[in-house]
Structures are given as structure tokens and as C-alpha cells.
Amino acid sequence: MIRLRRLLTITRVALRYRLDKLLPEDMMPWGLWLLMNLTPLRLWPEPKMSRGERLRRSLEDLGPVFIKFGQLLSTRRDLLFPDIADELALLQDRVPPFSSALAKATIEASLGAPVEEVFASFDTEPMASASIAQVHAATLKGGEDVVVKVVRPGIERIIASDMKLLYTLAGIAQRFLRDGKRMRPVEVVEDYEHTIFDELDLQREAANTSQLRRNFDNSHLLYIPQVYWDYTRHNVMVMERIYAIPVTDVKQLTAQGTNMKLLAERGVEIFFTQLFRDNFFHADMHPGNIFVSREHPEDPQYMGIDCAIIGSLTDFDRYYLARNLLAIFNRDYRLVADLHIECGWVPSYTKAHEFEAAIRSVCEPIFQKPLGEISFGHLLIYLFNTARRFEMEVQPSLVLLQKTLLNIEGLGRELYPELDLWTTAKPFLEDWIKQRYSPKSVLKEMQKRAPGWLEQLPKVPDQLLNALTQPPFTGRDESTSRLAALEAKLAATKRQQRGLWVLGLGLGALLLNASENLSFDGQSLVYLAVGAVLALLIRG
């Protein structure tokens, strides 16, 4: 009954804004076309608004879950018309607050004590209210100013109900719209479901916040507030209150003499540091979550909140992404094509010269502009769209990356319109690849893995013995294959002996050289012994 009532509400809002008119007639399912053109519904007046504004207003009317979904859709410019994506990007995650009595009851139930016992003061008027939670100012008994984030009561039930409807609508769209399969609405809803349910767990957000704070400890680039774990639960989080300037308040930033060029460039530096140094990036860096410290305006520092959504890539993808970006910088389109095939982003049977030509046709017109006018984020979107024609499946982590980069670039150019993201990013990428795969870094990685190798060392003799005594399989009968099997076994044994002998000596030498001081301390002797034992086992 609840789902039916909700479906009727959605239908009423869709009619009020005539959302059916947003679909080209050749994309409209025949049943919907009949309903809207052969019934009195066609007489329903069409609002005097752009199609993007009508969609945005309808999502706002449908409430928090749909507002959040619209925000996610605004990041998928590969699936939307540009004017609709721009309008959805204006969605503000502001909804009416729930009562302070309900907020206090939630806090007391979670912390097991009255609010007056936990806090020296608690402001019943919320500082901000969003789809998932709202925030109250408070002071701890020790005098620390904090903010208390409380999940909206009953939101889980609302989300679960609305998610079922979203899946139903996405399934209909995917099945009946002509372009439904390309738009993959069910996949979009799945991504949204993971995102929104992760945001419901404030302990998860607190853990992300603590990790990001640790990554930028004592950094002049970014400050992350402290989490007070004693007062944090799955639906309540207490965090240090920051007093800073919203990054969108350009007037106030300018008035205090902020170095706007440096501020914009540091936003780019923070993003690439999170991605390539830490592989742990804040994936919801819209302006409402970013502030600027009031101290040292000539040496500005960002301050970040709301770490519910965090992105990361595999080492494999980070490496290929960095090389792809540098290849794009250098307009080496053949290398871009080869890298996509080599890393498996497109199928191995993709013809490199055809893919190269498609990439060139997208990138060359863009590169006719000055670098400072080219959107790095939009170029990535065009590249992914081109790759998708060659059956590339874009991973959710890459979509998060693309969304974050668009936010950072847009914010940076709002602060400093002359920002050249390319010039800022290229040296960072070159240095990262150089440091990541320098001999010193490789040796350090081997040293880090040495304990695991030592753990596996006792198993090596048995594994070698099994490998040496395992008879090879042939498709011939026993009488004709015995000699060939013996020859193959001897050849394999010699190859294994040579390879493992080199491996054993190399392991000892590399691990010895990787030690902090190149002297024969206890650790170095252990590593050398590992190589020697392996070598003796192999020779014996």
C-alpha cells in the first residue's frame, strides 16, 4: 500500500512538470505515448521552464532520496544532455530539519546518557539539515567546540522503499527506451544504492575522516577535523568544529587577502596527492564540504568535512591512469590506445589503429584551444565515452574519480579563472611515476614483502619437489611418450634450477641493498641468509 501511494505521488509530480515531454518521441515507449497523446492527460499544461529545471524541481518535490539521486545523476554527464546535467548540478542538499526533540532522543538512545550529561551545551537549532542527517553545534565537558551529526530517524525505511521504486523505473527505462541499454539506468541505481547506504553509517564516515586526517597530519595543504570516538556511533558522530570561510565565499576570501592562484593550484595538488600518494581520495568534494582556514591567507590551507564517500583505485589502475594522462598531455594517441588494451580497459581484440583514430578525432579539436581553457575533467568524459564504443566497461571507482576531478576543476577555476590544471598536474604525474618505479621504491616494496616471503620459505622445498616430480601430460600413449616426457622433465628441471638459482641470489642481494643502512646489521644478515638458503636448496 505504501509503495502504491508513493508511486501515485511520483506520477502526480511527473504530470505536474510534464516530464514525459523531456523524452524525444522516438525514445518514448509506445504505451506512454498512447497514454499521453490519446487521453485527457495531454491537456495538462506544460510549465514554462526549461527541461532541466523541470526535472530538478520534480526531484526536489519528491524529497531527500530523489534529491540525492539527482546529485549523483549530475555527475554522469556521459549519460545526460549537458543542459540537464548543469541544472541537476544546482540541486542543494537542503531539506527541512527534523525536530530537535527527536534529534536529542536519537543521541541519548545511542550514547546511553542524557544530552545534558554528555555535553556542556547543546544547540537545539540545527546548523544544517541534509537528506541523510542534520548537524547541531555543541560543547563537550572539557570545553571543546564540536558538531554533532545525527542520522534522520526513519530514513532507512524511506530509502529502502524509494530504492525499490527506482529499480522498477530503471528496469522499465532500460527495457523500453530505445537508448535504455546504453544509458544503463539499472547500473546507475545500483551505484546510488551503495553510496546512499554507506552514508547512513556514521561510524564508517568517522573512520574515513580519521584516515584522511592521518594522511594529511601536519600538512599545510589540507586540515581534517578530529573525530571524538567516545561519542560516535552508527547514527551519531561528534567531530571537532571548525571556524573557516566557505570556499564559495570569494568576496570574503579576497577581502582577507587570500592568494587565490595558490589556493586554486593547491586544490589540484590535494586531489592528485590523495589519488597517487595515498590512494584514498575524498569523492564528495562539492563546495559545501570545503572551507578555507582564516589563518595565513598568503599561504592558504583547505579544510574538509563530510568524508562519507571515499574513492580508491587498484595499483594497476593508478599506474595505467597516470600513464594515460601523460600520454594525453603529450598527444601520443597510439600510446593511449595501447595502454587501454594492455590494461584490459577495452577488449584485447580491439584494433589499436581504429581506437587510436577514434581518440584522435575526440582530442585534436579540443587541443586547438589554449591549455588553460581546456577542461581536464570533460576530456576524461569524452575519452571514456569513446572507449565505451569499443566495449569499455567503466568501473564505479573511475566514475567517482571523474566526478571528483570535475568538482575540483570547476572549483579551482571559480577561485582563479586562469587556472591551468594541465600545467599543475603534469609535473606531479611525472614525479609520481618516476618515484613509484625507481629502483629505490622497488627495493623498498620488496623489503616490505620480505616477512611474507619468509613465512612461505619452509614450503619452498616441498613445492620444488612437487614441481620437479610432476609428470607432464601428453595426448599420446605411454610407450611413445615416455622418452619425450623424460626429456621434457630434464629440460624443465634445468630451467627451474637456473631460474630459481638466479632468484635466490637476486633476492638476497636486493633485500640486502634495500636495508636502511648498507651495512651487515641483523636484518641484512637475515635477508642474505634467505637468498643463500634458497640458492643452496635449488643447487642441491
For 263-312, the pLDDT digits (tens) are 999 998 999 999 988 999 998 887 788 999 999 999 999 999 999 888 88
**Residue 246, domain member (yes or no):** no
Per-residue confidence band for 356, with pLDDT thresholds at 50, 70 and 90? very high
| 87 and 105 in a common domain | no
Catalytic residue (one of 20, 78, 162, 284): 284
Which one of 241, 276, 310 terminates a domain? 241
| 230 and 299 in a common domain | no
Which one of 388, 418, 437 terminates a domain? 437
Q: What one-character-per-residue DSSP string does 274-293 give?
A: IIIIIS-EES---GGGEEEE
| 82 and 127 in a common domain | no
**Residue 394, domain member (yes or no):** yes
Q: What is the pLDDT of residue 120?
A: 97
93 is known as an active-site residue? no
Whether the pLDDT of residue 505 is over 60: the answer is no
**Residue 168, domain member (yes or no):** no
* Cell numbers standing for residue 241: 568544529
Whether the pLDDT of residue 80 is over 80: the answer is no
Per-residue confidence band for 539, with pLDDT thresholds at 50, 70 and 90? very low
Which one of 93, 117, 141 terminates a domain? 93
Residues 253 and 337: their CA atoms lie apart, in Å, by: 43
Share of the chain above pLDDT 70, in %: 74
Task: Please give the residue that has the higher pLDDT: either 510 or 449.
Answer: 449
| 197 and 286 in a common domain | no
Residues 180 and 184: their CA atoms lie apart, in Å, by: 6
Per-residue confidence band for 432, with pLDDT thresholds at 50, 70 and 90? confident
Q: How far is CA 238 from the centre of its chain?
A: 25
**Residue 163, domain member (yes or no):** no
| 390 and 273 in a common domain | yes
Average of per-residue pLDDT values in the chain: 79
Residues in the chain: 540
| 110 and 75 in a common domain | no
| 99 and 76 in a common domain | no
**Residue 161, domain member (yes or no):** no
| 420 and 364 in a common domain | yes
**Residue 189, domain member (yes or no):** yes
* Domain hosting residue 47, numbered range: 2-93
**Residue 209, domain member (yes or no):** yes
Number of domains the chain is built from: 4
Residues 35 and 427: their CA atoms lie apart, in Å, by: 58
pTM of this prediction exceeds 0.85:
no
| 310 and 229 in a common domain | no
| 41 and 10 in a common domain | yes
* Cell numbers standing for residue 231: 561519542
| 423 and 359 in a common domain | yes
| 421 and 276 in a common domain | yes
The region of weakest confidence among 253-257, 341-345, 450-454 is 450-454
Q: In this predicted model, what pLDDT tens digit does every residue of 97-146 receive, in sequence order?
A: 889 999 999 999 999 999 999 999 999 999 988 778 999 999 999 999 99
